[in-house]
Amino acid sequence: QVDFSSIKDTGNNPRGLLLTLIINWLIKPFSMAALGYLFFKVFFASWVDPSDATEYIAGMILLGVAPCTAMVFVWSQLTKGNPNFTLVQVSINDIIMIFAFAPIAALLLGVTDIHVPWQTLTVSVILYVLLPMLAGWLTRKLLKNNVHGLLKTLKPWSMIGLLATVVLLFGFQAEKIINQPLAIALIAIPLLIQTYGIFFMAYFIAKRMRLSYDIAAPACLIGTS
């Protein structure tokens, strides 16, 4: 659904875009890293094996650095957000992610004494961000005038795809979830604090900025999904 030609419309809602960029790239990655370190190196240190704690923190950092972009279209649709603004903010965040994900992840992982090779981070960006973006761009170029028909056909399946993804993720990890309920509960605590904290922070900033609802909704949700 990402149309990079929409970037020319950036100036239509600059304050909403400024909010989402600040939340996504200047606050969220660092708050997630801080929460992970605080909970697993301090609060839960006596309950979790140090090597496991390090892995949990690494996972939280990687999760916090990358804002969800694809499913924001679904959240925006459910909240009746402005579709044009959603398209612009997703396009810009995707482009930033290509260049910013690996450096920020490497920085935060290094600060917390977790060593992940640059090659691994770079390959991850290429496989999960760059290649899908190029595939979408090529699809738009090849289909041209028929792309809107394709999107209309695929749109009802987006919610099914979301639910299927959740079911499959939990299904593949079912054994670990059953065998390690305490670890799941401990990981959930900082993730919940991060999710709700970032959302309400973005919400109150949007309110102070007097952003309209249809702009504030997708701007707040992209940093919490």
Q: How would DSSP label each residue in 1-61?
A: ---GGGGGGGGGSHHHHHHHHHIIIIIHHHHHHHHHHHIIIIITTTTS-HHHHHHHHHHHH
Tell me: the pLDDT tens digits for 28-82?
999 999 999 999 999 999 999 998 999 999 999 999 998 777 678 778 888 888 8
Domain that includes residue 10, residue range = 4-145+181-221
Greatest CA separation found in the chain?
A: 60
> 158 lies in a domain?
no
| Contact status, residue 218 vs residue 82, Cβ threshold 8 Å | yes
Domain membership flag for residue 212: yes
Per-residue pLDDT tens over the stretch 52-67 = 999 999 999 999 998 7
**CATH number for the domain harbouring residue 75:** 1.20.1530.20
Number of domains making up the chain: 1
Identify whether 114 is part of a domain.
yes
3 confidence band (pLDDT: 50, 70, 90): low
Q: Is residue 35 part of a domain?
A: yes
